[in-house]
Structures are given as C-alpha cells and as structure tokens.
Amino acid sequence: MRKLYILFFSLTFSLSVFSQDGLIDRAKKISDEMTMVLSLDDVTSEKIYHIQLKRFIDAQRIRTTYKDDKTMMKAELRKLQNRLWGKLNAVLGDDKMKSWGAHKKSI
C-alpha cells in the first residue's frame, strides 16, 4: 500500500512539473514572437517573458479554482486579460502595442 502512495505522489508531482514546463514554453514562444515582430531589446524581452509566464500561471490557477463556475471563470479570465494588456502597455508603450495588435489581427 505504501508503494501505491509513493507511486501516486510521484505521478502527480511529475504531471505538475510537466504542466509548468508547458507554461514556460508558451511564455517563451510568445515573448520570442513579440521580440521578433517588435524588435525588442533583451531587457524588454525578459520583462515580456515574465509578464506572460505570470499570466499563464494565473490563468491555470483561475481555471482550477473556478472549474465548476464557468461564468465566474470567464469574468476572472477577462480581468486577467485586462491586467495583461495594462502591464504590456506599461512596458512597451502605445506605439508598440498598436503594432502588436495589428500583427495579431493579421495572423
């Protein structure tokens, strides 16, 4: 029985680590795309990466917390999206945000 608990714990831990790696990869992909499209320097690119990573972690937490209440989950995710754009706007400025918005619409 003890081996079963150890197996269950290690499986759960490995899945959560894998999930975090997926979030890191997604944040890296978006920050790399923004760096390329907007010609960002390394410092700004690093800031964008951290903003995106926090966004994905918060979104995952919201989805887990409100998985039974879809309307509340949508409202919280909408607030998260608004905070994201505010943080990105503070780092990038209006001109680069408009360029990023135009790029996203053209895709």
Which pLDDT band holds residue 51 (cuts at 50, 70, 90)? Answer: very high
What pLDDT is recorded for position 72? 94
Tell me: pLDDT of 42 over 90: yes
Closest C-alpha among 43, 53, 29 to residue 91: 43
How does DSSP classify residue 56? H
Write the DSSP assignment of 7-49 as a string of letters: HHHHHHHHHHHHHHHHHHHHHHHHHHHHHHHHT--HHHHHHHH
Which pLDDT band holds residue 30 (cuts at 50, 70, 90)? Answer: very high
> Where do the domains of the chain lie?
2-106
Least confident of 13-22, 25-34, 88-97: 13-22
Tell me: pLDDT of 4 over 50: yes
pTM for the complete prediction?
A: 0.77
Separation between Cα atoms, residue 39 and residue 5, nearest integer Å: 50
